[in-house]
Structure 1
């Protein structure tokens, strides 16, 4: 079976089964895989952190963040 065939087969499953497969694969990956940042990503995180430190009022509370997500999803 090719990777493309596996992806096609998995895509045909209900979302709950797809999520179970993703979780099982993620749990089996070695520690640190896929978590490395590029220089560009690290620079963006540093920029955002400096922006927050300069003016903490720019940050959203967790409740505000979740509400924005619900609104964006139409819920």
Structure 2
């Protein structure tokens, strides 16, 4: 039985997998991305709520470096 290409690709080193992932993402045009990543109404409402909250209090934002260190911590 032939091997599954995804199984083989998942055996690549992390750096190679990251390059492959970015290459695949960049190979999609805007319409393809929009078609595959359509937001639900609930997701759209949550993003709108969070954006309004940020506009109301911009200082409430947390820098990515802080979020990343908390996730890794």
What's the TM-score, normalizing by structure 2? 0.71
Structure 2 counterpart SS, 1:12: coil
In 2, distance between residues paired with 1:42 and 1:71? Answer: 26
Residue 71 of structure 1, CA deviation: 3.8
After the TM superposition, which segments of 4 or more aligned residues of structure 1 sit over 6 Å from their partners? none
Number of corresponding residues = 69
> Per the alignment, do residues 50 and 69 of structure 1 end up closer, same or farther by CA in structure 2, a change over 3 Å counting?
same
Q: TM-score, normalised by structure 1?
A: 0.69
How far, CA to CA, are the matches of 1:50 and 1:68 in structure 2? 20
Long gaps (5+) in structure 1: none
Unpaired runs of 5+ residues, structure 2, are none
